[in-house]
Amino acid sequence: MNDKTKLRTGAELNDKRKDLEDIASIFEVLNLRFFLIDGVLLGAIREENFIKWDWDVELAIFEEEVMPNATKLLNALFDSGFEILNVNPFSSFFKINIKKRGTKFSLVGLKKSRNKWRYRSHFRYPLYLFDNAKHVKFLGKNYLAPFPAEEMLTCIYGQWEAPLRSSKQSEYLNRSLYMPKFLTLLIKIKHIIVEFDSYFLRLKMGITSKVFPERREYLFSNIMLKKALSEDCVFLEIGSSDGLEMSNAIEFTNGKLSGYLIEPSIENLEKSKKRIEKKSRKYNVSVCYINKVVSSSNENIDYYFSSTSTNLSGISAIPKDAEKRQIKSTTIKEFLSKENISLERNLVIKLDVEGAEVEILKSSIDLFSQMPNVSILLEVHQSLYKGDEMKEVLGNLFSIGFNASIVETAWVKSPDMFVDSGYKPIATYNNKSLYDSIDNNMVLTCSSKEILNMANITPFFTKKIVRSILIKKRNK
């Protein structure tokens, strides 16, 4: 007996009920509708409960209602504890799969035809049954369902009154439910045409990363970095797997900078040196290399190095194949003091430390409050933050004079949050964009917590709308 026809326990069915109630509450808050359909409708009418061997639940939604609100819906589901399994954002295929307590729920988009159907790629349902929808009582709650429900069940299953325990659609679905083959073919052709941009962008990104690997970080390593730098600044690069930013910094300032690279991995440090020394010789400038880790401590601490993903090595995030090492740590304050770097200098810090940015910045706020000119370019890692810790750190930095300068998006060029606020990108590259003049409060929110957004390339959604930020403090 396969898992699809396995009888579920009372506890599992109760969890399924709770999930359905949670979904209903979310839809009510967003003023959206869903309808009981297929197996859950059959259970509500015939069993007055879920069908014990029908584990997954499909709920019908209307494309024209939900697609414009898909990002809001994703965030509401995510904030309520649902895992977003996958998303298909395309018309006639629109679907959101979620899970919370063990049951997969599919929110299935139905498109309205010009005459008498609500349909998706392979199935169609009589339109008037949805137009006449009424609430049905199910497990103590009222849910919308096509009306008459019995007529919809006949359309879906034919002889639906007698239980049939099977996982093969051909054995329990009514043939009249299926779309005509020629219509399904037309829908697929249209889908391929609409999805072409997604395939092309993905292909372009893959080719670019192979042929020009350094271009993957173009917005971060070129435009944002150039905006942060000035001639005669102190450029402190904390964490580097390839030395790209230091190499670019030398070129952008014509070698007129004091460069320091702090990297705990000797492997990454040697690799970075090879790249940087080419520019060092060209511009006759020396860079100081320090094999340490930066944290809130001045003692030896644990560091986790990944030989397969060297750029993910760090003290916070622990890669699966990580090798644990002991490494000497320093704070930014101790480092500046040891190197005799005046607090009056223009300090530019690049941070890519896989989540450790919280403790590094938190331990340096008093130091930064004494400095007139500081720029911090950092990649943020919202999934690694605990509670509001990053929001509190950024809030403290803003309170001592820092302001957001540039924000780089992640996976989507134009997050709904930015579009709704009237922001427009100043530069785009592949599936990312740069925005300037973003309000500090918005930067606080989108840099400190996971926020979901629909995307036009796989996996068609992201939980991270902001990848990196540049904040600056300037002596007025």
Q: Where are the domains of the chain?
A: 3-179, 213-473
DSSP letter (8 states) at residue 103: -
pLDDT reported for residue 306: 78
Indicate the CATH number for domain 213-473: 3.40.50.150
Q: Is residue 157's pLDDT more than 80?
A: yes
Site of tokens 């609100």: 69
Phi then psi for residue 388, to 5 deg, are: -100, 25
| Nearest residue to 16 (alpha-carbon basis) of 89, 102, 87 | 102
Tokens linked to 423: 């922001």
Of all residues in the chain, the percent with pLDDT exceeding 70 is 96
In one-letter notation, the amino acid at residue 115 is N
- The tens digit of pLDDT for each residue in 227-244 reads 999 999 999 999 998 999
Query: Cα(115)–Cα(127) distance, rounded to whole angstroms?
Result: 8
pLDDT reported for residue 5: 67
Q: Is residue 1's pLDDT more than 50?
A: no
For every residue of 358-381, DSSP letters joined together read: HHHHHTTHHHHHT-S-EEEEEE--
- The tens digit of pLDDT for each residue in 62-85 reads 999 999 999 999 999 999 999 999
Indicate the CATH number for domain 3-179: 3.30.460.40
- Which pLDDT band holds residue 213 (cuts at 50, 70, 90)? low
Average pLDDT estimate for 369-387: 96
Least confident piece of the model among 2-6, 150-154, 241-245, 300-304: 2-6
For every residue of 296-317, DSSP letters joined together read: S-SSEEEEEE-SS-GGG-BSSS
In one-letter notation, the amino acid at residue 63 is E
pTM: predicted TM-score of the whole model, two decimal places = 0.89
Q: Is residue 392's pLDDT more than 60?
A: yes
